[in-house]
Structure 1
Amino acid sequence: MAAGPRERSGIWAEQRAQRLLQQAGWYPVARRWRCRWGELDLVLHKSPQRLLLVEVKGRRRCGRDGWGCAGLNRRKRARLEAALALWLAAHPVYGHCHVELVAALVPLPPARGPVRWMRWL
Structure 2
Amino acid sequence: MKDSLQQRARWRREFGRWGEDLAARYLQAAGLVLLSRNWSCREGELDLVLSEGERVVFCEVKTRSGDEYGTPSESVTPEKADRVRKAAEQWLRVFGVGWCRTRYDVVAVFAPVGGQPSVRHIAGAF
TM-score band by shorter chain is 0.7 to 0.9
Cα distance, 1:4 vs structure 2: 1.7
Instruction: Please say which structure displays the higher CA radius of gyration.
Output: 2
TM-score by length of 2: 0.82
Q: Distance in 2 between matches of 1:16 and 1:39?
A: 18
Unaligned runs of 5+ in 1: none
Paired residue for 2:111? 108
Structure 2 CA distance for aligned equivalents of residues 98 and 80 of structure 1: 16
Scaled by the length of structure 1, the TM-score of the pair is 0.86
Q: Secondary structure at the match of 1:53?
A: strand
| Length, aligned pairs only | 116
**1:28-84 per-position Cα deviation (integer Å, ceiling 9, x unaligned):** 10000011121100000122x111111000001112322x23321211111111101
> 1:108, 1:75 → 2: CA distance?
25
**Where does the alignment leave 5 or more consecutive residues of structure 2 unmatched?**
1-8
Shift of 1:113: 4.1
Where has structure 1 moved over 4 Å in runs of 4 or more? none
Match of 2:47 in 1: 41
